[in-house]
Structure 1
Amino acid sequence: MIPHSQFDTIVVPMTVVTCPRRPGVEFVSIRFNTTEKPHEPIPLIYRAFENYYARMGYAEYTPYLTEYKQLNWMFHLIQTQECHHRSRYHSKWVLNLDTDERVVYTGPGDFLTFLRSQPDNIGELSFIINRVLKTEENPKKFTNFTKLSSELMFLKYNKTTEMSWFNVKGAIRPDLVFVLFYHWSYRQKEGVRVISVPKRIAHIRHYRNVDIDALNGNWLENYSGKFKETKLDPKFEQNLIEAVKQKVKYVYEQRGIRCEEIPEMYFKRFGRKILDCKFRNETVNE
């Protein structure tokens, strides 16, 4: 694989982009001239997912089967193990986090370099937790970008607890760990070690709901009750705002190809019914 490589190609027939084979390549981005910003990367082999992150190619999606609820509230551990063991065939490191948790890396270089610098016998990196009080539910639907900006969790919620090792979260080497328990490893291969990462290097920022009736809803009892306002790095925060807007725009402003954008020879050959297109000025009901 050649990082950041690019090449000229053609789009034919219709919406098919011709790409030369390159070992290790899984995603491709396209642009229509040298000054245009490349569009969102798409997987070379498209797979349909229900989960947004999976559909964007950032994560693998595995549904939890609800019949396991007959066991007890820890039923999800069965499929967590299954996901863990499959990941050893495609990932060297796996972050075992929930979707309301973020890694905040404050060490030298970047997080990827930090992971690559670990000795070969390290099977888990445990991170200290910094919990942020999340006092409201997220909106169920996207309405507009003004509302979106006011509901971004990393802008709206900043009241944080002290850092604590209660409920640690980890980055796991699936090839060195046999079994997981919640967010950390339970059994490792012989000779494999676990490292507790100093908080000056990295921590987990957890946007935790305060619903007393939710699972472990009394979690605040494990903290001092003293809070302070903390925010992400200003430059990173601004980049994150723009990245979220671009991703939301990508999801909600997608449209089908218009009839006038299809070359005439294909339009005549296949016909409008097969192409399933609309002209620019047509309304939704037409």
Structure 2
Amino acid sequence: MFKKTVYCRYFDCKRQEIVGAEWKGIVFPESVVRCPRRIGAEFVSVIKEMEDEVPTPMRLKYRVFEKPIHTLSICVAAFYGQEPKWIQIAEFIEHHKMEGATFFYFHIGNISDYDRQILDEYVNQGDAEVKTLQEKYERPFYAWQLIEIQDCHMRSKYHSKWTAFIDIDERIHTNEPNKTLVDILNNLDSQNIGEIQLPHLKVIKNGDTPARYLGKGQVPREMFSRKYINTAEPTFDASKAVIRPDKV
């Protein structure tokens, strides 16, 4: 779909099309289409040709804030595979809250109903947003990750000042005593910086993840940051990015 022509179709709160509001745009990059705002538009749909049947319109979400709501948000790589993730989700979110993150964007390829429950709790608390990845054509998991990055970049733009892109089994740590990641990012405000790169410290995971919660004593025993401590040397190969989404 790269650079393909598409049409934005706009609809009001009753899902009635707003006549004359359509917009001809292009796909760039692979999965992003710019549909300018229209007065009275509550829903939008995208089609390849004006004569095509319009797919179910999707509700627009207001994200054009004068000032970002969040200083640091986390975009989490799409979930795939059969490994249980409930304890990873909880540890991941609570750890990064201590580093100053206040919002999390999750993208779901595969997840069990049991693991989804804890995600839904974080959504209900206002800590997270979950997007299910689905399409009528099959994609290998790595192709979905490219779409997830583009989608999350757009979602976090104007919503968060800084956005980190990492996997569910990764943790951001700072080396400066008594400083969180947000403290360090705030010191960069006066500089014209759009992206910082974080070196990667690989931790060897050689055990299984518990399928279900069995009691309080299980949690500290199974937390990834406690259970797995054997590491390799830090490297910038496959480094992780923290960006200013409004500048990138």
Bin for the TM-score computed over the shorter chain: 0.3 to 0.5
TM-score, L = length of structure 1: 0.41
Task: Give the greater-gyration-radius structure (CA).
Answer: 1
TM-score, L = length of structure 2: 0.47
